[in-house]
Structure 1
Amino acid sequence: MTKTNGLNASALRDRLQELAKREGIHQWDLGAACSDDCSVQVDRGEAKQLKAAQRSSITVRVWNGDGLVGITSTTDLSEAGLEKALTGAHEASRFGNPDDVPGFSPLATAPLPELDRPLKQRRGILPLLSTLREAEADLLARHPAINSVPYNGLAESLSQSLYLNSDGALREMQRTQASLYLYAKAEETGRKPRSSGAVRLALGSGDLDVSGCIEEAVERTVSHLAYRPIDTGSYRICFTPEAFLSLLGAFSSMLNARSVLDGVSLSRRESLGTSVAVPFLSLHDDGLHSGNIGAAAFDGEGTPTRRISLIEGGVLSNFLHSEATARAFGVAPTGHAGLGAKVSVGPDWFVVSTTEGVSSGHDLDHKTHQDPFVLIEDLSALHAGVKASQGSFSLPFDGWLVKGGERISVEAATVAGDIRTVLNSLLHLETESEVTPRGVSPHVWVDGLSITGEA
């Protein structure tokens, strides 16, 4: 990838080595990120917000002679700021937690995977503003009931990530990314306003599927105009790919070794190798997937990104790991760590698929199925309505009651259940998978979930 006026990794490493030697520091590492962003929002053709920002941050960790770790973060990238961060981390190491001492990833100098993510030319604020104005006007003209696009935005960014350590690791990457979201509001006389929208991501703003985003926003919004209440009861459910990935993401702690060690996960150490879902479900985390616009070649500890099997044939096969959790489990880090005061662990890009050679025994298709079912398009209030360590959820949703092929928008309702029950009562995964901003998944069918309609 071509260089920009970002951080110079080699110069930064050399300066840190010099400072560390002067301070008597023998072990240190550094994670750095900088970005150059611009974004626009509009309101009926007028510029609502134009924003450009340059952001930089550095996190430095230092190990003292007793093996304890101190950490400092700063946005001051000057030589004086760097020196202050290094000495500050060294001083903080005296108060390090002896029961939680991270180390360097053993894979921090391993070869990195090749990523086909060419840097794209950024267009700047005025062209972005022009594009968004046109998109808003086009969307408003598509249907008489659509009276505003209250939430919208078009953004592009260039970012750079670094990881360095005193053992010779030097990781760096740059990437460009652009995003567009259009969230429309429609209203008919005597009826409640209805809203929906769409999102598109690309490597550059010139590659965004603007027309596709408009079409989807219109289709989703208009489809919710003819809404009706739904009776409270137990229903057969079909989750759209985005909705199912949202639900999985809300319970990702069951796949997270850090959460397991902290005792805040549904899983335990001994859960590995046990059945957690129906045999035809498999789940991978694949941060390198071609559909992942924001793919990174390494994590916060410098560990290379790779595809990892989490659930294979319904059996829990792996957890997501940092260096510390991998050491505790006696395995290799998986490339899912974030550098911080306490190293975090999180998923990159979920890929839901049908286990090869295993059939669900059903042939369900949300486009043609005639018996009544509820098609859930979007889940809301995921932070408030999910008890991740208990497995339960109760979430408002947008969707339709489908009868004989006719879609009836649900006025207001919540869906409730337990993620363990859901994974073990899946009926079917449709054959066609979709790439979404959250990952990859087909439509997923579940039986017997409780829906509470508006009283």
Structure 2
Amino acid sequence: MPKIDDIATQAKDSASKLGIKKFDIYGSTVDENSVQVDQGEPKQVKASNRSSVIVRVWNDENTVGVTSTTDVNQEGLELALKTAYEASFFGAKEHVPDFSPEASIPIEDSSENKTAQAPVSQLIDKLIHAEKELLDAHPAIKGVPYNGLSQRDLDRFYLNSDDAVRTESRSYASIYLYSKTEEEGKKPRSAGAFRISHSLDDLDIPGCLKEAAQKTISHLNYEKVKSGKYRVVFSPEAFLSLLGAFSNLFNAQSILDKQSLSTAESLGTSIASPLLCVADDARHPDNVTATTFDGEGTPTRRVELITNGTLSNFLHSVGTAKRMNQKPTGHGNIGAKVTVSPHFYHVYPGVAAEQEYSLETAENVIFIDDLQALHAGVQALQGSFSLPFDGWMINKGERISIESATVAGDFLELLKSIIFLEKEAELTPGGICPRVWVEELSITGE
């Protein structure tokens, strides 16, 4: 991709030539290579370089047209601007998007954070070695059917006709390992682990290996669970996946579209146990994929969503903030329609719990490690869920894997039933969170 300054100059020249006074452009390019292996041999090697540019143009009637392109040379930009300008005359006349009032505010930590990519041969060697160690961890582990090691360079930019220019560059490396067992007379059992870091050298491959092996082995001895009401402990990843499934709670666009469990009047009301605090923090120090600005050029920031059980803020784009008389929060994604989405959740304890709990001493609790089928088992507008899960029945520190079960409940009731958040938080792909204890949920066994 050409340099951002060159793109800005070319865009302005093309806009002037076409008589366009107001426009903005958001773009990104991803340079990625990844490998998969199977029984000690490379299974798949992929390399890709993907670019995406979205152009918005406003006409004199202040309606907007949007188009996308992958071509950011002079001719490509001119064609995109022309197409968007022509489309602008068919644009919506209500709630027309506008530039972010914060698009030109300086961002301190927007410096480039890139590392050199390692050769693909090194990726293959590391993944083959990891697969072998996982297969050797226990005789019952017969395969690692899902695995991958990848590295990615990401460049993003935003510019507009009011001379706002933003750019950032990041590098990431990630690995996932998902192993499967085979034992005579027993059902296959499986488990996985994932790690992400800024570079391949910093990637915690041994930790990923250890977690995948321990989880898989712990599921070998399994039993049925009786259906009933149980005290439930969510792993950090499981709780964040459920929180993400009901993110319409905080999404201002969903609220305005009447597709949310919240309303504009919900701010300041109690929606959860006072033990719970939730923030969205794109620039959290532990967030490897931190981003400093959104698709509209608004700087990202920490937004407190639930404070001691009280709904304290919504996530906004420029348009939703204007309609709800708030400030944009840096969560807008531009396209044919501007959407709103979270970045990185930070869940932490609020008011001190009356009693602390521990998996080492708890009796007959269900520990849910991984929730499945969220696309099918969540009724986001009703607040209900019924989801299969991987987990264990825990009794005084002893873990017995659950053969097959589902957990069901109402999400808002779940939030109010939280009785404890452990002190130690864990980093997951979706955020940072401790284990979360819930007083009671319905568990259905076979």
TM-score class, shorter = over 0.9
Q: Could you say what secondary structure the match of 1:50 adopts?
A: strand
Paired AA for residue 64 in structure 1: N
Separation of aligned partners in 1, 2:396 and 2:208: 28
Residue 74 of structure 1 corresponds to 69
Contact 2:112–2:169, Cα closer than 8 Å, also in 1: no
* One of 326, 329, 344 as aligned partner of 1:334: 329
* One of 152, 164, 170 as aligned partner of 1:169: 164
Q: Could you say what secondary structure the match of 1:320 adopts?
A: coil
Q: Could you say what secondary structure the match of 2:211 adopts?
A: helix
Deviation for aligned residue 1:51: 0.5
Deviation for aligned residue 1:116: 7.7
Deviation for aligned residue 1:188: 1.3
Correspondence 1:382 to 2:374: yes
Q: Deviations over 1:361-381 (max 9, x none)?
A: 121012x12311000000001
Deviation for aligned residue 1:76: 2.0
Deviation for aligned residue 1:350: 0.5
Q: Could you say what secondary structure the match of 2:201 adopts?
A: helix
Deviation for aligned residue 1:100: 3.0
Q: CA RMSD in A?
A: 1.1
Paired AA for residue 82 in structure 2: T
What are the equivalent positions in structure 2 for 1:106-185 lying under 5 Å apart? Answer: 106-114=101-109, 118-185=113-180
Residue 354 of structure 2 corresponds to 361
Residue 270 of structure 1 corresponds to 265
Residue 240 of structure 1 corresponds to 235
Q: Deviations over 1:32-53 (max 9, x none)?
A: 0111110000000111100111
Cα distance change on mapping 1:225 and 1:405 into 2, 3 Å: same
Residue 427 of structure 2 corresponds to 435
Residue 275 of structure 2 corresponds to 280
Separation of aligned partners in 1, 2:383 and 2:116: 44
Residue 416 of structure 2 corresponds to 424
Contact 1:113–1:304, Cα closer than 8 Å, also in 2: no
Contact 1:115–1:288, Cα closer than 8 Å, also in 2: no
* One of 317, 320, 337 as aligned partner of 2:315: 320
Residue 208 of structure 1 corresponds to 203
Higher alpha-carbon deviation: 113-122 or 9-18: 113-122
Contact 1:113–1:305, Cα closer than 8 Å, also in 2: no
Separation of aligned partners in 1, 2:195 and 2:111: 19
Separation of aligned partners in 2, 1:139 and 1:97: 55
Q: Could you say what secondary structure the match of 1:61 adopts?
A: strand
Deviation for aligned residue 1:351: 0.6
Q: Deviations over 1:151-183 (max 9, x none)?
A: 000000111000000111100011101110000
TM-score by length of 1: 0.96
Deviation for aligned residue 1:201: 0.2
Correspondence 1:83 to 2:75: no
Deviation for aligned residue 1:232: 0.8
Deviation for aligned residue 1:125: 1.1
Separation of aligned partners in 1, 2:235 and 2:112: 28
Residue 14 of structure 1 corresponds to 9
Separation of aligned partners in 1, 2:280 and 2:251: 12
Q: Could you say what secondary structure the match of 1:445 adopts?
A: strand
Separation of aligned partners in 2, 1:186 and 1:108: 52
Q: Could you say what secondary structure the match of 1:206 adopts?
A: coil
Residue 3 of structure 1 corresponds to none
Q: Could you say what secondary structure the match of 2:123 adopts?
A: helix
Correspondence 1:415 to 2:410: no
Contact 2:272–2:310, Cα closer than 8 Å, also in 1: yes
Q: Could you say what secondary structure the match of 1:37 adopts?
A: strand
Q: Deviations over 1:282-316 (max 9, x none)?
A: 11111111111100111111111111111111111
Separation of aligned partners in 2, 1:314 and 1:58: 40
Residue 397 of structure 2 corresponds to 405
Separation of aligned partners in 2, 1:7 and 1:401: 56
Separation of aligned partners in 2, 1:61 and 1:179: 34
- Structure 1 portions without partners, runs of 5+: 1-5
Separation of aligned partners in 2, 1:242 and 1:7: 39
Q: Deviations over 1:53-110 (max 9, x none)?
A: 1111110000011110100001122322211111000000011011231000000001
- Structure 2 portions without partners, runs of 5+: none
Aligned residues: 446
Residue 394 of structure 1 corresponds to 386
Deviation for aligned residue 1:117: 7.1
Paired AA for residue 148 in structure 1: G
Q: Deviations over 1:8-41 (max 9, x none)?
A: 1111111111111111111100000111110000
Separation of aligned partners in 2, 1:113 and 1:445: 38
What are the equivalent positions in structure 2 for 1:86-97 lying under 5 Å apart? Answer: 86-97=81-92
Contact 1:223–1:409, Cα closer than 8 Å, also in 2: yes
Cα distance change on mapping 1:415 and 1:238 into 2, 3 Å: same
Paired AA for residue 358 in structure 2: D
Paired AA for residue 390 in structure 1: Q
Separation of aligned partners in 1, 2:6 and 2:281: 32
Q: Could you say what secondary structure the match of 1:13 adopts?
A: helix
